[in-house]
Structure 1
């Protein structure tokens, strides 16, 4: 479950509108990323920008769903309940306090990371009030028992509803088939039985183990000087648990034989997913695979899969492919939706298209067009403070080079057709892919 819940009330509208004005300034200039460690070991990544009177903060921990062990859903519920009661404040008091100063409180969770975010005005009163609440959440979460009971019931109801939806069924079955016993197979949302069994003590222990300063990456962006940023980072890190950094996740194994799962469902459409372990963050093959995948299925209507399977044959409503790099090998996935009676034809054609792509590679015309589209769209990746903040978090958490964004377009431009074919042929084995089909009868 990618938790992305925001408390948004009375946000100063002119600030939101003004974010668009940053495009020409931020997208054109190289980002000066400053990096240091706090006195108790938290890593800090900071970009100074005074164009708007706002600051953005994201505190990231190696506390994603891959750390759940046998308690599926624990990471997500821990992160979420931190925002629903802290230092004696109720969830309503937290919400009202954030709203009163026009701030935004948010968070995210994936397999690797849990993050808590804050956007606030940089003026002293509003900033101080927002930081008071934000640091209370980070330092003194209460995990109220009554709130936990309430939220468990809500989450379980959502999980039971999701268990009837073909897209959700396909995604969960795909990750389980692809990763087996690896922690990446753990369902981010949890499963009803495991969620129902979670106790307040479980959340407290998870917090103490994974929310320590040595396990934290603090990303800061906006209207503050380096001295102010250092003070804020120290304030955030100083109250975190004194626990060791999380250990490395186990390596991902490649499938030794093809895996296919077919799941009956009464829906009129079949949902089909194919995949294979892909790449890690910072992988040497990343840019060749990224540009190649744009041509294969990541470029929307200009991709090979869309052209062959949708436009020429009309076999699917949608088809795509992507790589999701993680700390260990994240998934390479091809997905499509089609009428039940066309599912076999569509699946066969997708497999043929993928095999041809891997064996024959890309044309120079396709490569040129892909580079132009990727590079031309790059300014939109960093056209707001919040987008830059997300990149800072990724750069810091995965220890990417500080000039990662500055060199992005150059890395894309340097990719050759030979590199794409070589990377795909080495990294993706079409004979041993995982396939999940949801729809139709058994």
Structure 2
């Protein structure tokens, strides 16, 4: 039995029914002509509250559960230049006391009703999630309201979460993959918010004040930059007024600092940070495409053939299967709000680091220059179409997908159109997008370890050995 089949069988019967229904529903969209009766978007409803707050809803009574995902545009990129880590710390504290509830009371209120409320920050947004039984939806929504409109940032909670963040930074100081990622971003985006460590540094996190946290929340958590997705046992009639109750007291407009568009710097270089470990971890990347680029789907298919598949990509075959250089190797498109990237990574023995760098460069250029075969393209499209349903095998995943589609402004019918877009990608499309990548084909490599054989790769030492001065 496969891991997927085993996990599916282990589900509660009602959960299996929901998962099977979602997979079957998406498969219908994938394999058959779309009709009003079959269309998944007939289940996605745009709900607008009396106060004008919009959410996307999938009303599903299969299980007595409600899942909500929210996002406020403006994450770590809004950190003050001298204080990276503010967004990360602030997001971690939103469920650590709000309104009349201190941290213990807030956590007890969630535990009493089996409610989950959680927040985190990424480069471009602050995200929140809520999970609750439908019978507890009112207290769950009240906790969400308090968290986003009245966070306390009490001294005890701030210090406790701060110390946890500092402990993570110390731990990551000796994690080669984390250090490689941090070094890549710092080299690629000097003097830009994307170059700062999202979790801050051992110097910046202790300097973050309660005023910094409260100011970030006040400027960033607003109605005009809020996206909401809800899936589960709640009707549109009930959700509309609840949206106003949860989010109506937020400021009408966020006060975001403009973030300039940027392209990665240092392309073609190999940056090295020395760490006494037996393997070299590496992150590589270059110029990609933003999500709103018309060629994004062809580029997505192209990347799948490069390193997007765990077992059939060119990098997997060449780096792992043929030469045994690494256990895993991957690449993916990383469309940030202000930069389009293609990124990847792997880890290999120190003595084979130079060989691995050269091989990744060669395979990338070979795909861009020669392109794939018809069979390779057909296989990639078949996998991407067939696996799409796995993104919808739980209510939480559905909510997450609906939220991302809103953030990317892809349209409420995107789930219906997505597989058709993939299926329509032709060799000519791949050649066109490969030509665009060939305009700026150089990759920046960031290596952490004791790599050997890099003379021909043009390696340059980074600013000192890998240290705990930055976090991820």
TM-score when scaled to structure 2?
0.86
Match among 72, 79, 87 for residue 91 of structure 2 = 79
- Distance across 2 between alignment mates of 1:336 and 1:433: 14
The alpha carbon displacement at 1:289 in A equals 0.9
Q: CA deviation at 1:244?
A: 3.4
Question: Does the C-alpha gap of structure 1 residues 214 and 381 become closer, same or farther in structure 2, counting only changes over 3 Å?
Answer: same
Task: Return the offset for 1:19.
Answer: 4.3
The corresponding residue for 1:58 is: 69
Any conservation in 2 of the 1:42–1:217 contact (CA below 8 Å)?
no
Residue range with higher mean Cα deviation, 356-365 or 387-396: 387-396
Offset at residue 436 of structure 1 (A) = 0.8
CA contact (8 A) 2:289 2:335 kept: yes
Structure 2 residue 171 is the aligned partner of structure 1 residue 161: yes
Q: Secondary structure at the match of 2:250?
A: coil
Match of 2:320 in 1: 310
Change (3 A) 1:50 1:202: same
**Aligned pair 1:149/2:159, yes or no?**
yes
SS at match of 1:239: coil
Q: In the TM superposition, what is the alpha-carbon distance from 1:250 to its structure 2 partner? A: 1.2
Q: 1:104 aligns with which of 95, 100, 116?
A: 116
Change (3 A) 1:40 1:23: closer
Could you tell me which of 352, 355, 358 is aligned with 1:345? 355
Q: Which runs of 5+ in 2 are unaligned?
A: 1-10, 29-37, 452-460, 462-472
**What displacement does 1:61 show?**
0.3
Show the counterpart of 2:457. Answer: none
Q: Say which is worse superposed, 234-243 or 366-375, in terms of deviation.
A: 234-243
Tell whether the 8 Å contact from 2:187 to 2:265 is kept in structure 1 after alignment: no
- Give the corresponding residue for 1:223: 233
CA deviation vs aligned residue, 1:332-359 (integer Å, no higher than 9, x gap): 1121211000111111111111110111
- Alpha-carbon distance between aligned partners in 1 of 2:348 and 2:231, rounded to the nearest angstrom: 43
Is the contact between residue 275 and residue 333 of structure 1 (CA under 8 Å) also seen in structure 2? yes
Change (3 A) 1:326 1:43: farther
SS of 2:447's equivalent in the other structure is strand
Stretch moving more, 84-93 or 102-111: 102-111
Q: Offset at 1:429?
A: 5.1
1:26 is displaced (CA, Å) by 4.2
Q: Distance in 2 between matches of 1:148 and 1:14?
A: 42
Instruction: Tell whether the 8 Å contact from 1:296 to 1:303 is kept in structure 2 after alignment.
Output: yes
Q: Count matched residues.
A: 429
Tell me the distance in 2 between the aligned counterparts of 1:337 and 1:244: 41
Residue pair 1:255, 1:433 contacting (<8 A) in 2 also:
no
The alignment partner of 2:68 has SS state of strand
Quote how far apart the aligned CAs of 1:13 are.
7.1
Matches of 1:170 and 1:429, distance apart in 2: 26
Confirm or deny that 1:232 pairs with 2:242: yes
In structure 1, the residue matched to 2:450 is 440
Structure 1 residues 433 and 25: CA distance shift in structure 2, 3 A:
closer
Mapped partners of 1:132, 1:26: distance in 2: 33
Residue 182 of structure 1: which of 186, 192, 207 is its match?
192
Query: Are 1:42 and 1:218, in contact at CA under 8 Å, matched by a contact in 2?
Result: no
1:42-441 to structure 2, matched below 5 A, reads 42-70=53-81, 71-123=83-135, 126-244=136-254, 246=256, 249-255=259-265, 258-427=268-437, 431-440=441-450
**Contact 2:92–2:161 (8 Å) recurs in 1:** no
Q: TM-score, length-normalised on structure 1?
A: 0.91
Q: Secondary structure at the match of 2:187?
A: helix
User: Which moved further from structure 2: 378-387 or 15-24?
Assistant: 15-24
Which runs of 5 or more structure 1 residues have no equivalent in the other structure? Answer: 1-11
How many angstroms apart in 2 are the aligned matches of 1:26 and 1:105?
Answer: 29
Q: Deviations over 1:209-242 (max 9, x none)?
A: 0001122112122212211121221122212134
1:35 offset after TM fit, Å?
2.7
